[in-house]
Structure 1
């Protein structure tokens, strides 16, 4: 691993690692449909929009929301009584779910021209979510390189852990939102997206809550609590992802 740390190709390795499993999941989701599969060009477009456009939107809006929410005294007091770092807790439990799901929804709109059924929205939502998760994997891995005691090997571990947890969450939550987007497009009722957006935000917040709980227990050296919270987060994400796949596999869709 020492050789890997000094290799000029390590960043390329990190990039490939960050995107590898999300792309595998993308194939898995797209091919879950028995007939009338979405064209690869549009699926990859949604993935790319999620990885670039959605990430940029999320970064900008997150900064704005955090600055605004930090000025709300009662909210900060509420989180200060429950978390050692209330600003981070607000960012993770409130800002991230609201902002990131909206931003990933923008990425999912890349599939609108090809959307002929509500199930199509599941595919494009998942694609945007997976693109977002891949870029997020890369950001977290790069950040880990600058943490004392983590280094290159630790950054690869970060990618691995996130690929088997956060990637599933991003795919499934935005698939739900994508379903709502497709329903809104097909029925010409823009407000139809709202229930699905709220569900996506709730899913995201639930996953982040378990993840935050795991970190809190880790700081308290509570190994059992940390393990249980982490397993709960991963299980939640995997189950949600599996439900999306089953919905796609069981749906009847007209060939395109």
Structure 2
């Protein structure tokens, strides 16, 4: 029996039918509601950008360019989180647009209104100290979480793991973070009162984009998205448990945001660059570590499921037992590509990556029982033949090479990031 007929007998993945494109999508009321909200938010943000561009054209162009460049590495990291089952580009763009157009449009006036309410019900002193910590997170986290809910409503089949919720939540947060930072940068230009100068833009970019970006809205959105993903996909759990986990995740995103915006430790560690760096790490590291644990757990669960699908094939030409273990781990996949590069050159590295991508896609199609399985079997074999011609027939690496290299790379990257952060803070006058 050949591999392709055996693929058709595989167990389907535990996902429900969804709406991707076409007439079925057009008939969804939720689709048109999302489109209307995106158009409304787009018009509003275009008006804001237009007013700034008319008064500060150079500063506006600089702000958009700098933060657009900042979005690129974040986008690449977020989309790479779910290597085994990558999300459709259209939905990633929609999530990003929701964060940048809808959530910001709601949050800018909503946060200001809630801040005024805190001042009236509490005191102006309370609003001055804690307004940004209470008003902003409350409005912003709700509006961003609704973006993940919107993805679920119009494309349920594309949210079939907790990791999918993480990816969409992070993308919503990224869109919000980039657009909000552009608005803040241009507001800083207007507040400086020196005309069309780029210095306030660069300062805002370093503070809000470079220094705060890794701990900010992308991270909070990912945490809330994990909760929505759990609510949607864990049908094996009671409804109350799923709802409780989702609410706890959104509350965790809100609490992380409150901690980040709070005045805690504002004066307690001094005014030097090292003190400011310590505050950034103290406030930002806990949610970062939490989302890393969640991503690892969700990735491992998803990897085990898809590995089981591939293991049923029993065809070493499609995937060997050693490659199966490599495919389940991001660090092992990277190590396998590195080993191919050192042993057989750049072409081998590219072929290993394409082979891994084809194997992952084959696993997804196998789990869904789709008729497009033969295409990915053919692609796997094609990349296998390329590797064989290059003298590197299997996408694995010798035991023991990967962890040491990964550890050294992590230590170096961490040390470099701390050095750059410290230098940036000192440049901004913190030292």
Give the TM-score normalised by the residue count of structure 2.
Answer: 0.49
Conserved? CA contact 1:172–1:237, under 8 Å: yes
C-alpha separation in 2, matches of 1:221 and 1:197: 33
1:200 aligned onto 2:253: yes
Equivalent pairs counted in the alignment come to 238
1:155 corresponds in structure 2 to 201
2:162 equivalent to 1:118: yes
Q: 1:94 aligns with which of 134, 137, 143?
A: 134
Residue 139 of structure 1 is matched in structure 2 by: 183
Moved more, 136-145 or 190-199: 190-199
Kept in 2, the 8 Å contact 1:217–1:226? The answer is: no
C-alpha deviation, 1:93, in angstroms:
1.3
Kindly report structure 1 stretches of 4+ aligned residues shifted beyond 6 Å: none
CA drift of 1:239 comes to: 4.5
Indicate whether 1:191 and 2:243 are aligned.
Answer: yes
Distance in 2 between residues matched to 1:63 and 1:171, nearest whole Å: 22
- Write the distance in 1 (CA, Å) between the matches of 2:105 and 2:56: 29
Q: Could you state the TM-score of these two structures normalised by the residue count of structure 1?
A: 0.78
For 1:60, the equivalent position in structure 2 comes to 109
User: Which structure ranks higher in relative contact order (CA pairs < 8 Å, sequence separation ≥ 6)?
Assistant: 1
Q: What SS is found at the alignment partner of 1:71? A: helix
Bigger Cα displacement from structure 2, 185-194 vs 138-147: 185-194
Q: 1:9 to 1:154 in 2, by over 3 A?
A: closer
Write the distance in 1 (CA, Å) between the matches of 2:295 and 2:231: 21
Q: Give the conservation status (yes or no) of the 8 Å contact 1:46–1:107.
A: yes
Structure-2 residue corresponding to 1:37: 86
Contact 1:22–1:130 (Cα < 8 Å) also in 2: yes
Q: Which has the larger radius of gyration?
A: 2
- Quick one: structure 1 residues 182 and 133, their matched pair in 2 at CA, closer, same or farther if it must change by over 3 Å? same
Long gaps (5+) in structure 1: 1-5, 81-85
Q: Secondary structure at the match of 1:217?
A: coil
Aligned Cα RMSD in Å? 3.1
Preserved CA contact (<8 Å) 2:173 2:218: yes
